[in-house]
Amino acid sequence: MALIRRNWNPKDADEWTREDWIAIVLSPLAYAALMVGTALSILLMPLGYIILAAGLALTLGMYWIINPKLSTISDAYEKKQKAYLEELERKVKWEDVP
Amino acid sequence: MVELSFLDWFWIVAFMVLMVGSGVLFYRLGKRSEADFFLAGRGLPWWLPASSVYATHTATDTPMWVSGVIYKHGLAGLWYTFFSAWCAISAFVSARIFRRSLAYTQAEWQTLRFGGLPSHLLRGWTAGWQVFMNMFILGWVGIAMGKVCHYLFGWHPFIGLTVFSVACAVYVLAAGYWGVVMADFQQGVIAFIAILIVSFWGIAHAGGPTAIVAKLEALGQAHRLNPFAFTGWFGGDFPIAWFLTMVVIAVIGGFGMGTSIDWYAEAQRIQSARTVKDAAWCIWSGTALVLIRNAIWGAAVLGFFVLYPNLTEVKDYEMAWFRLGFDTLPAGMLGFFFAAIVAIHISTISTHLNLGAVYMTRDLYHHYLRPEASERQLVWVGRLSTLLLLLGSFVFGSIMENITEWLIFALWIMAAGVWLPNILQVVWWRFNGWAYLASWIANLILSWLVVWVLPAFGVIPALKDYQQFWLLMVLGALVYLPVTFLTKPEDMKHLVKYYAMSRPIGWWGPVRREAEKLGLL
């Protein structure tokens, strides 16, 4: 079994899996590296280039891991959305309240 | 005082026409329905709400605040702006859950997550609180613009407060969220270009990047180049304990909803995205741009520091970035810079006008007063709500000097004692509406005691902000955890419905098993 799964069916994509947790870990690290790396790179400090490159690599890695799963979730959910919206509007109109 | 040439005025007038006009153009789309007036019909590709996230969080007071912390702490001050990193996790967790709930607002979500009386009490409380907060933020940001106009042109601050907010209200009233998000896109582009030009111009004026580094070393201030220049574990003005607290609040907060005051604006953008994927990437990329923008400002403010290293008054050094623009840009570019400041300003104003109005319309009027209201009526109530928020913001802006301390406290209580409950409501099925309500009530009392009353009577020492956070979190838990276990869980049918729709993360075992039994998964 591959370490990172990139082909999803709707049922499996709805579960919280290792890919979600990897994105959860990489994402704040990417933010921090992009912020610090940008500031130091503008000041032409070599460490800044390394940190900025790491930030970009983390961002791309995160995207590569999580985007296929998000696409599958989105496609499957859009099919159910209309019914859920009708349910939501019923609640606003108090029809669900006994 | 700044003297503007004909070319400067041309930039200002042209940009104002472009900004207001681009919003008004979407009048026909905005008036179609409540969903259009407040969520642009839930059909936006990720980059439109992303630009709105970025533009909204670039307000007139933002460069002042970033200038202040960078001038004071050097690049370590960037961490003060890292609170927005809650979107790092939220993009893949709470944004996904919230988008699937389809709730217009956080207040509405609470009636989907919780049931019975507490859910309605919470909806009313959250909606009322958000109407107040948006009015307050409008006043706060508006008076910051008043101060900038006073600094530049000598106008009375009330003129700067009202003129641009009224211009902005034209397209928010006409086109609702469609106008907001379309104008935000071009305002975001204008603002980012101006931030790049002014910052790099300022850096060049300070001698260029290499000279700035050399001058900081010559001044004995090289530590300002180190983003991790801590002052020890607990002592000094940048202790590791503060840094770790900030990281926890910001990053772990992404598992919850409402752990940051910015959640409420982001929730609207999440819901306006056309798919779950678009919702996730819109807040991730919009916030990434916010953090990169802060870094650009940070480098520019270091340039300002080497030009003026001895400023001691906050009111002087918090204008650092504005001064780099107005003191160094050539004639003809000043108007462009001011037009960009107007773009920065009204992108924030437009968001909060529409955001406050959605709580007033959807959660108060539509839910409690006229559940059978037509789409046409709801759009008009949305407009009336927008107008009320605008007028209220003028009152707040006028008295802001006197109430700022109280309202910063109001912001603080939003974050501290309810931070963990805001996460628990997302991740733990057993956490119920009564417990969440209890956490709010407890926090209102405890925060007064911990921040003001007990230190004033010498019962506890005056604590640093990060110490207050941990203490309020523990004391709050002593109230809401017993309430959780002493009251019944939410109705299982209600929870199953919510679970099947939103598929939340965390401890939902019993609900999941029931949903599987009913064949809903």
Record the pTM. Answer: 0.94
Question: What's the confidence (pLDDT) of residue B147?
Answer: 85
pLDDT digits (tens, 9 = 90+) for B334-387: 888 999 999 999 999 999 999 999 999 999 999 999 999 999 999 999 999 999
Question: What's the confidence (pLDDT) of residue B414?
Answer: 62
Contact between residue B280 and residue B95 where contact means Cβ atoms under 8 Å apart:
yes
Cα–Cα dist B174/B474, whole Å = 47
B291/A28 Cβ within 8 A: no
pLDDT band at A88 (very low <50, low <70, confident <90, very high): confident
Query: What percent of chain B stands above pLDDT 70?
Result: 97
| Range of weakest confidence among B23-37, B44-58, B173-187 | B23-37
Question: What's the confidence (pLDDT) of residue B12?
Answer: 87
Question: What's the confidence (pLDDT) of residue B391?
Answer: 96
Picking from A20, A77, A85, the nearest residue to B92 by CB comes out as: A20
Neighbouring C-alpha atoms within 13 Å toward the C-beta of A45:
19
The overall average pLDDT reported for chain B is: 92
Tokens of A4: 């990172």
Question: What's the confidence (pLDDT) of residue B404?
Answer: 58
Domain boundaries, chain B: 6-415
Question: What's the confidence (pLDDT) of residue B411?
Answer: 64
Interface of B with A in 368-387 (CB under 8 A): 371-372
Interface test with B, best of A31, A71, A79, A84 (most B CBs within 10 A): A31
Which spans in B263-374 are helix H? 263-272, 276-307, 314-317, 320-328, 334-358
The residue behind tokens 């207040």 is: B107
| Range of weakest confidence among A26-35, B335-344, B386-395, B431-440 | B335-344
Question: What's the confidence (pLDDT) of residue A39?
Answer: 98
Tokens of B485: 């276990």
Return the residue of A nearest to B276 by Cα. Answer: A74
Cα–Cα dist B78/B89, whole Å = 19
Could you tell me which residues of chain A have a Cβ less than 8 Å from any Cβ in chain B?
14, 16, 20, 23-24, 27-28, 30-32, 34-40, 42-45, 59, 66-67, 70-71, 73-75, 77-78, 81, 84-85, 88, 91-94
Question: What's the confidence (pLDDT) of residue A32?
Answer: 98
A81 has a pLDDT exceeding 50: yes
SS3 of residue B507 by DSSP? strand
A34/B292 Cβ within 8 A: yes
Q: How many helices (H) and strands (E) does chain A have?
A: 3, 0
B505 near A CB under 8 A: yes
Radius of gyration of chain B (CA): 23
Interface test with B, best of A8, A70, A75 (most B CBs within 10 A): A70
Return the residue of B nearest to A27 by Cα. Answer: B88
Adjacent-strand bridge partners of B507: B428
A98 has a pLDDT exceeding 50: no
Tokens of A84: 């859920």
Return the residue of A nearest to B277 by Cα. Answer: A70
Tokens of B144: 């910051």
Distance from CA of A80 to the nearest CA of B (A): 9
Contact between residue B172 and residue B443 where contact means Cβ atoms under 8 Å apart:
no
Interface of B with A in 89-128 (CB under 8 A): 89, 91-93, 96, 100, 102-103, 108, 111-112
Cβ atoms < 10 Å from Cβ of A95: 10
Q: Give which of B187, B184, B147, B142 is closest to B15, Cα–Cα.
A: B187
Question: What's the confidence (pLDDT) of residue B431?
Answer: 97
| Range of weakest confidence among B202-216, B275-289, B457-471 | B457-471
A97 has a pLDDT exceeding 60: no
Mean pLDDT value of segment A21-27: 97
B5 has a pLDDT exceeding 90: no
B59 near A CB under 8 A: no
A96 has a pLDDT exceeding 60: no
- In three-state form (DSSP H/G/I as H, E/B as E, the rest C), the secondary structure along B171-224 is HHHHHHHHHHHHHHHHHHHHHHHHHHHHHHHHHHHCCCHHHHHHHHHHCCCHHH
Mean pLDDT value of segment B202-220: 97
Distance from CA of B434 to the nearest CA of A (A): 18
Mean pLDDT value of segment B271-297: 97
Look at the alpha carbons of B372, B377, B382, B385 in this order and tell me if their dihedral is positive or negative. negative
B431: burial class by Cβ within 10 Å (0-12, 13-18, 19+)?
buried
pLDDT band at A95 (very low <50, low <70, confident <90, very high): low
Question: What's the confidence (pLDDT) of residue B207?
Answer: 96
The residue behind tokens 């009375």 is: B156
pLDDT digits (tens, 9 = 90+) for B212-263: 999 999 999 999 999 999 999 998 888 999 999 999 999 999 999 999 889 9
Question: What's the confidence (pLDDT) of residue B471?
Answer: 93
Interface test with B, best of A17, A43, A51 (most B CBs within 10 A): A43
Interface test with B, best of A8, A18, A26, A42 (most B CBs within 10 A): A42
B227/A36 Cβ within 8 A: yes
Query: What percent of chain B stands above pLDDT 90?
Result: 75
Contact between residue A39 and residue B299 where contact means Cβ atoms under 8 Å apart:
yes
Picking from A34, A67, A88, the nearest residue to B291 by CB comes out as: A34
Question: What's the confidence (pLDDT) of residue B402?
Answer: 58
Question: What's the confidence (pLDDT) of residue A85?
Answer: 82
Residues of chain B with Cβ-Cβ distance to A43 below 8 Å are 209, 212-213, 225, 299, 302
pLDDT digits (tens, 9 = 90+) for B126-160: 999 999 999 999 998 898 899 889 888 889 999 99
Question: What's the confidence (pLDDT) of residue B251?
Answer: 93
The enclosing H or E element of B139 equals helix B116-153
A35/B89 Cβ within 8 A: no
A84/B203 Cβ within 8 A: no
Cα–Cα dist A27/B208, whole Å = 32
Residue type, B84: S
pLDDT digits (tens, 9 = 90+) for B47-105: 999 999 999 999 888 898 899 999 999 999 999 999 899 999 999 999 999 999 999 99
Domain with residues B6-415, CATH architecture: Up-down Bundle (1.20)
B137 near A CB under 8 A: no
Residues belonging to chain B:
521
Q: Give the DSSP letter of residue B365.
A: I
Interface test with A, best of B284, B290, B302 (most A CBs within 10 A): B284
Interface predicted TM-score (ipTM) of this complex, two decimals: 0.93
Question: What's the confidence (pLDDT) of residue B412?
Answer: 63
Query: What percent of chain A stands above pLDDT 90?
Result: 72
B366 near A CB under 8 A: yes
Contact between residue B303 and residue B203 where contact means Cβ atoms under 8 Å apart:
yes
A15: burial class by Cβ within 10 Å (0-12, 13-18, 19+)?
exposed
- In 3-state terms chain B splits into helix, strand, coil percentages (rounded to 5) of 80, 0, 20
Mean pLDDT value of segment B267-282: 97
Question: What's the confidence (pLDDT) of residue B15?
Answer: 87
Residue type, A95: E
